[in-house]
Structures are given as structure tokens and as C-alpha cells.
Structure 1
Amino acid sequence: MLTVLGITAPIFILIGLGFVSARIALVNREQIRGLGAFVINFALPALVLRALVERRLDEVLNWPYLAAYALASLSLFTAGFAVARWLRGQGQSASAILAMGMSVSNSGFIGYPIAVMVLGQTAAVAMALGMLVENLLLIPLALALAEAGTQRGSGGWALLRETGLRLARNPLIIAIALGLLLSLLQIRLPAVPFRVVDMLADASAPVALFVIGGSLYGLKLGGMGGDLVQTALGKLILHPLALLVAFLLLPGVEPQLMVAGLLFASAPMMSIYPILGQRFGLEQRCAAALVAATVLAFFSISGLLALLRWQGLLPG
């Protein structure tokens, strides 16, 4: 449990700094939203671009693992969207963002540090494969559904066209497309542009966590209970369970890679989750869900590590 605490403690400290800064009026709500816009428009696209161009796709592609991870994550996304949209009566944009929170992990800042401590270099391969699924499938799908939900009264073709234009202007989608193209063509960025990308990418995590803390100040939890329960339960419990079922249905994944996948799937949602929700006015709801899931992940991941060690799948 100390392993998990050592990884999550800096996250809570940065969130706390943001909350205290907003509480004592060092920053106001508009400044918090401005920092969020910086993350979504510059830092996060740079993070995705760096992740895609740093390695060749054919160096890490493991098709059985990719298929299992994509099947589990997409199945959970679909189920989460359906429950939120038609069972709980949420709007389309809110349902899409909620479903994304259930199915996209904080791979870089929680999943990877835990996995690399217990599995070594296998963790890097699992993170690269998971980020392919998240950045090329889940995040674009969630943003497309959320954007479509903002188009009121449009016909089918007009809706499709407007959503496509919005996505084409989205810096995150542009970064995914550019990174994938550069990776496929095996083109490396020159030193100076790569350094700029690297600096922006390094800013994404601390600024995003600071923004989360600032967004939590003044938050009213009334009416959010259902969202918090669905998102946290889906991300911390159902996502790793769905992946375990997918591994059983799609054999061919080596045991150590399976363990790494389960650790990544059991991590809370990505730290920029509230930033993605900001575009649709959902940043406070997303921030509350992220904090709740991160707190609970301390217990759920510790339990998973103990179970895996009991089964003899981890070093003693």
C-alpha cells in the first residue's frame, strides 16, 4: 500500500495547491479555465504527439493484447454511455464524457509507475499499447459523441458535417493524426521542435492537477452521487474485470503482459479528464469524479496487487 501512496501523494498535493490557491483568491475561476485551455490546446496535444513519435508502431504492436484491451475498453465505454444516456437520462455530451471516464486510464502518471515497479520493461510496452487504444479509439469516439450532442436541431448530414469540422479543429485530434503519421513514416522531429513539444508535454500533468484543485473550490456535490458512483465503479472495478474477460476470450497474451494490462485498467481516469470535460461545461463534475476515483484507487489497486501476488503472478 505504501507503493500506491508514494505514487498518489504528489497528485493530491498538486490538487490541494490548486484548491488552496482558489480558496485564498490567488487565482479566480476564469484564470483556472484559462489554465485548463492551455492544457487542452497545447500541453496535452504535445504529450500525445511525443508518445506517438518516440517509438515506431511496429516495435510495440502486440495484436492479441491490442484486441483484448480495445474490446474491453470499448465494451465498457458502450455500456457506460448506454446506462448514463438511457437509464439515467443524462444528455449525450455528459454521457459520452462519463463513459470516457470509465474506460480511459491514467496510464502515464499512475498505471505506469506501479506497473514498472513490479514488472520492469513490460510496463512500457503495455503503456504504449494502451495509449494507442485510448488516443486512436476511445478519446476520439468520446469527443465525437460529445460534440454531436452540442448540435441542436441539425439534420443527419448537417450534424455529421458540423461534428467533423469541430473535430478537425480540435488540437488533440490534430496531434493524434500528426503523431500517427510521423510514427508510420518513421519521421523524427528535429531537435528544436521536439524540445518545444517535450517542454509542453512535461507541463500537462502538474498544470492539469492544479486546475482540478481549483475547479473543486466551491463545488456543490448535490445531484452528482450517481455520476460519481458510476464513474468510479466502472473505472476501478469493471474496467479491469472487462479486460480479464477479454484476455480469457482472446488467448495469446503472455502472462506478464496480462498483469500489466490489469494494473493499467485498474488505475483511475486520466488526470486531464476534467480538462476534456471543460469544453462541455462538465469540468466540476469530472473533477469530483477524478478525485473520488483517485482516493478509492489507493485501496482497489492495493487489493489487486495483493491478489496478484497471492496468485503467484508477482514477485514476492
Structure 2
Amino acid sequence: MLAVLSITAPIFILIGLGFVSVRGGLVNREQLRGMGTFVITFALPALVFNALAKRPLSEVLNVPYMGAYALGSLAIFAIGFTVAFGLRRQGVSRSAIMALGVSVSNSGFIGYPIALTVLGEQAAVALALGMLVENLLMIPLALMLAEGGQQQAQSKWAVLGETLKRLLKHPIIIGISLGLVVSLLGIDLPTLLSRPIDMLASASAPVALFVIGGTLYGMKANGVWREVAQISLAKLLLHPLAVFTALMLMPGIEPHMLVAGVLFASAPMLSIYPIMGQRFGLEERCAAALVGATVLAFFTISALIGFIEFRGLLA
């Protein structure tokens, strides 16, 4: 138990430090947004670039892993959408946002620090591959359905096109693309370039966790705890189970990639989830789900890491 806590406790201590800092007025919202911008624009792109550029293309372009991670995420997305739309009569837009919450992880801000602690530098490759699935498949799919539910059917492809254009300009996608190019060409970067990239990459995990904690302060859930609990548990339990099943069924998956996929899927939903739900009148529910899932994640992730160590999956 102490071994598990030595992995998870520092992560959630940093989250708590961010929460306390904003609550105590040491850091304000504007400063917090600046830190988040730093992570998204510089630190995480440097991290995924490093992970890809320093390895041969055959090692980083792990198609079976990407396929399995996508399959597991799509499966839980379909279940979430069906429950919201078919059983709760939520409508297409709301159902799509609910499905997004149970199928897309906060890979960069929470998933990576956890996987880094368990797997070491191997976690960075899984982060890059998972982010390709999330940013080029899962998020566009959810937004296309959500926007299409409020517009005419013929506008859905236009929505998808605009979404993809924005995503292709995203710093993390640019970092992944450049890393793949450097890996393909076998370029060795000079120290003058590689050293600052390494420094930026090393800052991503602690700053990201601090930002998550500060973001959680002030979020409230007024009377929606039943729905919040269902979304949170689906994200923290069903998503990793679906990804685990897909990875087990996919031939050629190495043990450390299996563990990485499950760890990333076990993270709470993405930190901008409330912002994405705001357009559809779901900001309160999405914020509450993010808070609930982040709190519960301490227990579910600790249990997951304990299970991994007990079964010797990394031996």
C-alpha cells in the first residue's frame, strides 16, 4: 500500500497545492490561465516532440496500440451516447458531450504524470499516440455530433472541417508532427536546440498538476450529483476496462504499452470539459463531473496501480 501511495500521493499533493494556492489568493485565475497556456503551448509539445524525435519511427508509430486505444474509447463513447440519448432522452448535442466526458482523458495534465511515475520515459510515447487518437478522432467526433444536433444535417461536415482545421494548428499536434518528421529523417538535434526542449519537457508534469488543482477551486455541482457520479465512474472504471479489453485482443501489444493505455484511460476527463459543455448549457454538469472524477481518481488510480503491481504486469 505504501508503494502505491508513493506513486499517487505526490501527484495529488501537487493538485492540492494548486487548489490551496488559488483558494488562498497566492495565485489568481489570470496567472493560472498563463500557466495552463505555458503547458499547452510549450511544455507538452516539447514533451511529445522529444518522445518521438529521439526514437526510431518503427518504435513510435505503434499502429496496433493506436487502433486498440481508439477502439476502446469509441466503444465507451458509443455506450455513453446510447445511455444519454436512448434512455435519458437528452438529445443529440447533450448526449455527445456526455459521451465525450466518459471517453476522452486528461492525458497531458493527469494521465502523463501518473504514467511517467509508473513507466518512466516510455510513458511519453504512449502520450503522443493517445493524443493523436483523442485530438484527431474522439474530440472531432463529439463536436461534430454536438454541433450537428443544433444545426441542419448538411452542416455537420462543415463543422468537422472547421474542427479539424483548428486541431491541426494546435501546438501539441504540431509537436507530434515535427517529432515524427525528425524521427523519420533520423536527425540528431544539436545541444543548442535539444537542451531547451528537454527543459521545457521536464516542466510539463508538475505545472500541469498545479494548474488542474487551481482550476478545480470554485467549481460547484448544484443538485446533479447522481448524474455526476455516473459520468465519473464510467470514465474512471469503464473507459480503462474498455481500453484494456481492446489492448488484450489486439496482437503485438507489449506489456508496458498495455499498462500505459490503461493508465491513460483511467485519468479523469479533459480539463476543458466544462468549457466544451458551456455552449450546450452543460457547464455546471461538466464542471461537477470534472471535480467528482478528479477526487475519485485518487482512489481508483491507486487501486489500479496496486493491481498492476500485484499481478506483476510490468515484471
TM range (shorter): 0.7 to 0.9
Using the TM superposition, give the Cα deviation of residue 112 of structure 1 relative to its aligned residue in structure 2, in angstroms. 4.3
Between the aligned residues of both structures, percent identity stands at: 44
Alignment partner of 1:91: what SS? helix
Quote the Cα distance in structure 2 between the aligned partners of 1:238 and 1:99.
8
Quote the Cα distance in structure 1 between the aligned partners of 2:82 and 2:172.
25
Aligned residue for 2:33?
33
Quick one: structure 1 residues 82 and 42, their matched pair in 2 at CA, closer, same or farther if it must change by over 3 Å? farther
Q: Which shows bigger deviation, 29-38 or 106-115?
A: 106-115
User: Is this contact kept in 2: 1:4–1:298, CA < 8 A?
Assistant: no
**TM-score, structure 1 as length reference:** 0.75
Alignment of 1:259-298 (within 5 A): 260=259, 264=263, 267-269=266-268, 273-274=270-271, 284-285=287-288, 287-298=290-301
Show structure 2 runs of 5+ residues with no match.
none
Counterpart amino acid of residue 72 in structure 1 = G
User: Is this contact kept in 2: 1:46–1:200, CA < 8 A?
Assistant: yes
Aligned residue for 2:47?
47
Alignment partner of 1:274: what SS? coil
Quick one: structure 1 residues 286 and 36, their matched pair in 2 at CA, closer, same or farther if it must change by over 3 Å? farther
Aligned residue for 1:111?
115
Quick one: structure 1 residues 234 and 129, their matched pair in 2 at CA, closer, same or farther if it must change by over 3 Å? farther
Using the TM superposition, give the Cα deviation of residue 42 of structure 1 relative to its aligned residue in structure 2, in angstroms. 2.0
Quick one: structure 1 residues 169 and 69, their matched pair in 2 at CA, closer, same or farther if it must change by over 3 Å? closer
Show structure 1 runs of 5+ residues with no match.
117-122
Q: Which shows bigger deviation, 256-265 or 41-50?
A: 256-265
User: Is this contact kept in 1: 2:57–2:183, CA < 8 A?
Assistant: yes
Name the Cα RMSD after superposition.
3.7
Q: Which shows bigger deviation, 83-92 or 208-217?
A: 83-92
**TM-score, structure 2 as length reference:** 0.75
Aligned residue for 1:120?
none
Q: Which shows bigger deviation, 275-284 or 240-249?
A: 275-284
Aligned residue for 1:181?
181
Quote the Cα distance in structure 2 between the aligned partners of 1:173 and 1:134.
11
The aligned length equals: 301
Quick one: structure 1 residues 38 and 231, their matched pair in 2 at CA, closer, same or farther if it must change by over 3 Å? farther
- Where do 4+ consecutive residues of structure 1 move more than 6 Å? none
Using the TM superposition, give the Cα deviation of residue 299 of structure 1 relative to its aligned residue in structure 2, in angstroms. 4.7
Counterpart amino acid of residue 58 in structure 1 = S
Using the TM superposition, give the Cα deviation of residue 222 of structure 1 relative to its aligned residue in structure 2, in angstroms. 2.2
Quote the Cα distance in structure 2 between the aligned partners of 1:44 and 1:134.
13
Quote the Cα distance in structure 2 between the aligned partners of 1:142 and 1:297.
23
Quote the Cα distance in structure 2 between the aligned partners of 1:38 and 1:275.
15
